[in-house]
């Protein structure tokens, strides 16, 4: 459930804010997030896990805007980070370092050191070399590194191949049968403190079974580790809960939460989860304006002022995201169109052969489910300024990132000193 609805006049609103009115003030393309939806999603998740001692570590990479992190921190969320940059964001947004876990296949020494100095809860280690780096950096920093191994339970999450991460063939995690040996190494090191076991099998998972199978495998390992005298405080089940983009029917978080709790609570194990998409995905839309239309005889193209640099999911994963008019016109004839951006790449599309009520030049469109892996994956390709981001809250809204200025595009670039400089352009 989200808070993007049409009013009686057919005008799309974000909570109480009319989106055409918002666009009149901030322009397009613009990402709009709903504070009430983000809050609701966090609380649904929190409630789903109420049967077991737990910590939600929101996956920063899904939507890393400071205001989003600040809101989640205020609700009690912890954070799953994948870089020192994300650590800085979390701290700047008021996040508690003691609720931070650090994931990722390749962490640099300086990132490990920064995490230890900040006093994070746990480093999710993904390989033997990384475990060795953690021990060495911890010795240098003078703080033992709290570690958990990301094990690869070899279950098929039944999702897109680019976001399936728990198969034996993936680059992620430690193979299940090597985990025990690495845990022994960690346990024996004076510079490492074993605190948990971690896994993350993929993203946009809609069936509960792979997640529960993964937990059962992880618990076999926990039993072995405990039998060897190791103290395992938590099990981290990663993120990956899917959302409805089109007609997916994701398992309700409550069902998964109850299955987790039934297994973990009796053993006194704390549960960590790292949801990203399920919190932020349907809490955001991307607004864009139609620049014009054209037809090549076979296909009709609706060309928008947003492009693949603003939202790469359709191009990268052939992801389907709903596109709706901001002003609904029930009399407009339905047609089948491609919604495309202006970039010179055939992959620059948002929708192909999509039934859509006819829209003409200057109409506003909203791409739904754009709150996760949207703005944060955007780029300046084609020297396009990155979109604005806005948070709506009831009848009010806050620009949480203004549209990038043209001058910001190359402000950090430098000319060669021996060649003539150019000039500025008032355009």
Ligand X SMILES: *Cc1c(COP(=O)(O)O)cnc(C)c1O
| C-beta of residue 91 within 8 angstroms of C-beta of residue 97 | yes
Contact between residue 341 and residue 280 where contact means Cβ atoms under 8 Å apart: no
Q: Is 11 helix (H, G, I), strand (E, B) or coil?
A: strand
Write out the DSSP string of 31-64.
EEEEHHHHHHHHHHHHHHTTTS-EEEEEEGGG--
Regarding 68 and contact with ligand X (CB under 6 A), the answer is: no
Question: Per CB under 6 A, does 157 bind ligand X?
Answer: no
Nearest distance, CB of residue 226 and ligand X, angstroms: 24
Task: Write down the least CB distance from residue 383 to ligand X, Å.
Answer: 29
191 or 277: CB nearest ligand X = 277
Strands in 129-233 per DSSP E: 145-152, 174-175, 192-198
**3-state secondary structure (DSSP) of residue 75:** coil
Query: Which of residues 240 and 284 has its CB atom nearest to ligand X in the complex?
Result: 240
- 3, 13, 54, 61: which one binds ligand X (CB under 6 A): 61
Which of 62, 211, 364, 388 binds ligand X (CB under 6 A)? It is: 62
CA distance 89 to 144: 24
Residue 306 DSSP SS3: coil
Q: Which stretch binds ligand X (CB under 6 A): 234-242, 292-300, 301-309, 414-422?
A: 234-242
- For residue 131, the minimal CB distance to ligand X (Å) is 17
Output the CA–CA distances (angstroms, integers) from residue 425 to 38, 403, 407, in the order listed.
Answer: 41, 19, 10
Figure out which of the listed residues 2, 15, 80, 126 binds ligand X, where binding follows CB under 6 A: 80
Binding mask 11-50 for ligand X (x = CB under 6 A): ----------------------------------------
Burial class (CB in 10 A: 0-12, 13-18, 19+), 423: exposed
Interface of this chain with ligand X, residues 84 to 123, rule: CB under 6 A: 103
Question: Active-site residue among 57, 134, 199, 344?
Answer: 344
> Could you tell me the smallest distance in angstroms from the CB atom of residue 323 to ligand X?
22
Cα 339 to Cα 36, 109, 126, 169, 360: the distances in Å are 29, 44, 40, 35, 12
In the bound complex, what is the minimum distance in angstroms from residue 89's beta carbon to ligand X?
15
Catalytic site includes residue 57: no
Could you tell me the smallest distance in angstroms from the CB atom of residue 312 to ligand X? 15
What residues numbered 172-201 form the site for ligand X, per CB under 6 A?
Answer: 200
The verdict on 78 binding ligand X (CB under 6 A) reads no
Query: For ligand X, which is the closer residue by CB, 79 or 350?
Result: 79
- Nearer Cβ to ligand X (44/139): 44
Measured distance CA(28)–CA(364) in Å, rounded: 9
Site for ligand X in 267-326 (CB under 6 A): 274-278
CB neighbour class for 58 (10 Å; exposed up to 12, middle 13-18, buried from 19)? buried
Report whether 115 contacts 123 (CB < 8 A): yes
Exposed (0-12), middle (13-18) or buried (19+): which is 341, by Cβ within 10 Å? buried
Quick one: which segment of 125-133, 233-241, 332-340, 387-395 binds ligand X (CB under 6 A)? 233-241
Contact residues: ligand X, CB under 6 A: 59, 61-62, 80, 103, 200, 203, 238-241, 274-278, 372
Q: Where in the sequence numbering do the catalytic residues fall?
A: 344
């Amino acid at each position: 459930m989200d808070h993007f609805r049409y009013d009686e006049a057919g005008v799309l609103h974000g909570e109480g804010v009319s989106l055409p009115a918002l666009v009149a003030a901030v322009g397009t393309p613009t990402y709009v997030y709903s504070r009430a939806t983000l809050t609701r999603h966090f609380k649904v998740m929190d409630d789903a896990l109420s049967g077991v001692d737990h910590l939600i570590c929101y996956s920063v990479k899904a939507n890393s805007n400071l205001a989003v992190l600040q809101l989640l921190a205020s609700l009690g969320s912890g954070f799953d980070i994948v870089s020192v940059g994300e650590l800085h964001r979390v701290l700047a947004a008021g996040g508690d370092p003691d609720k931070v876990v650090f994931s990722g296949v390749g962490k640099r020494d300086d990132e490990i050191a920064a995490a230890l100095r900040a006093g994070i809860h746990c480093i999710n280690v993904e390989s033997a070399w990384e475990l060795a780096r953690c021990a060495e950096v911890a010795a240098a920093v003078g703080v033992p590194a709290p570690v958990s191994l990301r094990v690869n339970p070899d279950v098929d999450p039944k999702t897109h191949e680019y976001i399936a991460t728990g198969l034996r063939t993936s680059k992620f995690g430690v193979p299940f049968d090597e985990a025990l040996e690495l845990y022994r190494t960690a346990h024996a090191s004076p510079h490492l403190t074993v605190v948990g076991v971690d896994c993350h099998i993929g993203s946009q998972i809609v069936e509960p079974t792979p997640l529960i199978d993964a937990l059962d495998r992880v618990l076999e390992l926990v039993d072995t580790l405990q039998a060897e005298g190791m103290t395992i405080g938590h099990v981290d089940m990663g993120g990956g809960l899917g959302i409805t983009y089109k007609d997916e029917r994701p398992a309700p978080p409550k069902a998964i939460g109850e299955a987790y709790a039934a297994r973990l609570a009796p053993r006194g194990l704390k549960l960590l989860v790292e949801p990203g998409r399920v919190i932020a995905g349907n809490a955001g839309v991307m607004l864009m304006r139609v620049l014009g239309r054209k037809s090549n005889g076979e296909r009709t193209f609706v060309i928008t002022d947003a492009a693949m640099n603003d939202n790469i999911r359709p191009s990268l994963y052939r992801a389907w995201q709903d596109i709706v008019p901001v002003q609904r016109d029930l009399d407009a004839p339905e047609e089948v169109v491609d919604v495309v951006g202006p970039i010179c790449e055939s992959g620059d599309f948002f929708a192909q052969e999509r039934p859509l009520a006819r829209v003409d030049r200057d109409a506003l469109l909203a791409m739904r489910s754009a709150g996760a892996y949207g703005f944060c994956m955007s780029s300046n390709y084609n020297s396009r300024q990155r979109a604005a981001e806005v948070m709506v809250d009831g009848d009010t809204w806050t620009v949480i990132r203004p549209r990038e200025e043209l001058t910001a595009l190359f402000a950090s670039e430098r000319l060669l000193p021996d060649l003539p400089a150019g000039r500025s352009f008032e355009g």
